[in-house]
Amino acid sequence: MSSSSAAAGGDLVRRMAAVVGRAQCISDPCGLLVYECDGLTHGRTRPGLVVLPGSTEEVVEVVKLAREAGLPIVPRGAGTGLSGGARPVPGCIVVGLSRMNRILAVDLENGAARVQPGVTNLDVSRAVASAGFYYAPDPSSQSVCTIGGNVAENSGGAHCLKYGFTVNHVLAARVVLDGGEVVDLGGSAPDTPGYDLLAVLVGSEGMLGIVTEVTLRLLRKPEATRTFFATFPSTDEAGAAVSGIIAAGILPAAIEMMDRLAIVAAKAATGLDWPDVGAALLMDADGPLAEVEHVAKRAVEIARAAGALEIRIPRDEAERQLMWKGRKSAFAAVGRISPNYMVEDGVIPRSEIARVLRDIEALAREARLRVANVFHAGDGNLHPLVLYDARVPGEEERAAWVGREILRLCVRYGGSITGEHGVGAEKVEAMADMFGEADLDTMSRVRCAFDGLARFNPGKVFPTPRLCGERPGPYVPHPAEISGEVERW
Partner 1 sequence: MVAGARQGTPGDAVVGVVPRLVLEPASVAEAAEALGALARDRLAVTFVGGRTEIELGPPPATLDAVVRTGRLGRLVEHAPSDQIATVEAGMPLAELQRLLAPHHQRLALDPPRAELATLGGVVASNAFGPRRHRFGGPRDVVIGMTFVRADGTPAKGGGKVVKNVAGFDVPRLLVGSLGTLALITTVTVRLHPLPEAERCVLFAGLGPAEAQELVAQAKVAQLEPSSVAALTSGGALDIAFRFEGFAPGTAEQCGRLLSLAGKLRRSAELLDDGAACGFWARHDAVRTGGSLRVKIATPPAALVSIASGPLQRMLRSALSSGAAVLYPTVGIAFASGDPTSAEEASRAVAEARAALAALGGSLVLAAAPPAVRALADVWGPPPPSLAIMRRLKDELDPDHRLSPGRFVGGI
CA 380 to CA 382: how far, in whole Å?
6
Please report, as a single letter, which amino acid is at residue 449.
A
Smaller CB separation from partner 1, 17 or 480: 480
Contact with partner 1 (CB under 8 A): which of 58, 123, 284, 379?
Answer: 379
Could you say whether residue 448 binds partner 1 (CB under 8 A)? Answer: yes
* Shortest distance (Å) from residue 7 CB to partner 1: 32
CB 163 within 8 A of CB 173: no
Smaller CB separation from partner 1, 71 or 158: 158
Smaller CB separation from partner 1, 61 or 153: 153
Contact with partner 1 (CB under 8 A): which of 191, 273, 276, 316?
Answer: 191
**Interface map 304-343 toward partner 1 (x if CB under 8 A):** ----------------------------------------
Nearest Cα neighbor of 435 from 424, 444, 447, 448 is: 444
SS3 87: coil
Smaller CB separation from partner 1, 173 or 333: 173
Show contacts of 20-27: CB within 8 Å, 24+ apart.
Answer: 20/51, 20/52, 20/53, 20/54, 20/58, 20/62, 21/54, 24/51, 24/52, 24/53, 24/54, 24/99, 25/49, 25/50, 25/51, 25/52, 26/50, 26/51, 26/52
CB 138 within 8 A of CB 166: no
Q: Which of residues 115-144 bind partner 1 (CB under 8 A)?
A: 132
Contact with partner 1 (CB under 8 A): which of 348, 371, 374, 385?
Answer: 348
Smaller CB separation from partner 1, 51 or 160: 160
Please report, for residues 133, 464, 483, the alpha-carbon distance to residue 334 in angstroms, rounded to integers and kept in the order given.
34, 35, 53
The sign of the CA dihedral 160, 161, 167, 168 is negative
Contact with partner 1 (CB under 8 A): which of 3, 143, 435, 465?
Answer: 435
* Shortest distance (Å) from residue 350 CB to partner 1: 5
Could you say whether residue 196 binds partner 1 (CB under 8 A)? Answer: yes
Q: Which of residues 199-218 bind partner 1 (CB under 8 A)?
A: 199-200, 202-204
Q: Which stretch binds partner 1 (CB under 8 A): 3-11, 359-367, 395-403, 448-456?
A: 448-456
Smaller CB separation from partner 1, 63 or 277: 63
Which helix (H) or strand (E) element contains residue 201?
helix 197-201
Could you say whether residue 24 binds partner 1 (CB under 8 A)? Answer: no
Q: How far is CA 262 from the centre of its chain?
A: 21
